[in-house]
Chains A and B, each alone.
Chain A
Amino acid sequence: MVTVLDHDSELRRRAWDAAASVVDPEIPVLTIADLGVLRDVVLDGDQVEVAITPTYSGCPAMNMIALEIEVALERAGFREPKVRTVLSPAWTTDWMSEEGRRKLHAYGIAPPQSSRSRRALFGEQAVTCPQCGSGNTEVLSEFGSTSCKALWRCKTCREPFDYFKCH
């Protein structure tokens, strides 16, 4: 009995690791585990089902991510893996891992502030420039190159940069 449990948890860990290795096609330094998009991996015998949640309702990367998860799992030896999209609870930037925030910053994208409350969504934002570290920044556009980003500019080094929106 103990052996079976160990076998299952080992199998689940392998499935999780395979799914977790998939990167966001728009921000390839982040894995879907870093982003908090990967929600669950369930094993039923040898059948794997992975649950993912969209960052934004219309995020066009979701189809691509689902496809890549299937490929990653098949490579890891799982047959006919299934990917399910869950909406609840709704994704929040608070699910982004510390590792994910660090990688984003190193990539030149300012990581999201903690959302905590609706107040944060409407209140003053203090975003640090990922290039020079200055806090003297301003928003150029509330919407950026993807659903999850806004466009900012550093008033110290004059460089524009992406900010991962707080959500």
Chain B
Amino acid sequence: MPAANIQVSETPLVLYALRRADDALILGHRLSEWCGHAPMMEEDMALSNIALDLIGQARELYSYAAKAEGKDNDEDKLAYLRDVRQYRNLLLVEQPNGDFAQTLVRQFFYSAFADLYWRAMMTSRDATLAAIAAKSEKESAYHLRHASEWIIRLGDGTDESHQRAQAAIDHLWPFTGEMFAVDEGERALIHAGFAVDPGTLRGCWLTTLSDVVSEATLTLPQNDWMQQGGRAGRHSEHLGHLLSELQSMQRTFPGQTW
């Protein structure tokens, strides 16, 4: 008998934590798919290490969400026993790895944001969120440095690496707008000093991107049309496939432990 979905009482604070936890878990899982397949051993280790950091951040955020909800859910149930529509991550992080350029551009867009976002969150009125932010900020800064160096190397490399990096930027660009959007519930948390308004970080984020992208001899798209839906549980078809792998053990053998 496969395990059924859990129900989560999504107060604004629980939803807030779930969204960030889901971002970290899904991106961490995507990166872990490279383990044993990366173009060179150093990158195999790098992507697996970044995955580990992200999954560590996800665990802290899920534990926080479970505590904020105050029911009998825990980090494992939140990760393994929610279905696609209950996941609240950005569409960006669930996009398939594609080629190496696409993986690194996705990482670059996300890390440039996460670095700014967690640094700003260190002033949260909530002590636990501020502590998670302080930990995540340092890790994100390191991830950003790694991704930035690759964007420059790929863009300013061979004709083929340049073309692939540019194609990845153009393809993933419409998924970046969602990082800066907030809904009403989150707006209230921002006013109360628990969260920060990601919209205020977009200027800085664009500056980071422009600096790296121009050094890489690449260009950022001019189009402003952005795809949204992940934060509300409306996902691309890719997430379901990812979850079927991520959750298969707990769905098949409910409550199984190591």
* Complex contact A142–B46 (CB within 8 A): yes
B131-172: CB near A (< 8 Å → 1, else 0) gives: 110111011011001100100000000000000000000000
* Complex contact A56–B139 (CB within 8 A): yes
Number of residue pairs across A and B with beta carbons under 8 Å?
79
Of all chain A residues, which has the CB nearest B41? A141
Chain B residues with Cβ under 8 A from A121's Cβ?
138, 141-142, 145
Interface of B is mostly: helix
Cα distance A122–B127 in the bound complex, in angstroms: 28
Cα distance A165–B145 in the bound complex, in angstroms: 13
* Complex contact A57–B135 (CB within 8 A): yes
* Complex contact A87–B45 (CB within 8 A): no
A57 in contact with B142 given A88-B134, A140-B42, A141-B46 (CB within 8 Å): no
A25 at the interface (CB under 8 A from B): no
Within 8 A of B (CB), among A110-167: 118, 121-122, 140-145, 147, 151, 165, 167
A59 at the interface (CB under 8 A from B): yes
A54 at the interface (CB under 8 A from B): yes
Cα distance A77–B59 in the bound complex, in angstroms: 33
* Complex contact B42–A147 (CB within 8 A): no
A58 at the interface (CB under 8 A from B): yes
* Complex contact B130–A88 (CB within 8 A): yes
* Complex contact A56–B52 (CB within 8 A): yes
* Complex contact A143–B136 (CB within 8 A): no
Cα distance A59–B135 in the bound complex, in angstroms: 12
Cα distance A39–B68 in the bound complex, in angstroms: 26
* Complex contact A145–B56 (CB within 8 A): no
* Complex contact B138–A58 (CB within 8 A): no
B134 to chain A, nearest CB (A): 4
A16-57: CB near B (< 8 Å → 1, else 0) gives: 000000000000000000000000000000000000001011
- Give the contact-size bracket for chain B: 20 to 34
A60 at the interface (CB under 8 A from B): yes
Chain A residues with Cβ under 8 A from B128's Cβ?
87
Cα distance A68–B112 in the bound complex, in angstroms: 38
Chain B residues with Cβ under 8 A from A87's Cβ?
60, 128, 131-132, 134-135
A167 in contact with B138 given A60-B52, A122-B145, A140-B42 (CB within 8 Å): yes
Chain B residues with Cβ under 8 A from A54's Cβ?
56, 135
Of all chain B residues, which has the CB nearest A62? B56
A90 in contact with B135 given A118-B141, A121-B141 (CB within 8 Å): yes
* 12 pairs, A vs B, C-beta closer than 8 Å: A58-B57, A60-B52, A86-B131, A87-B131, A88-B131, A89-B134, A90-B135, A118-B141, A121-B141, A143-B42, A143-B146, A144-B49
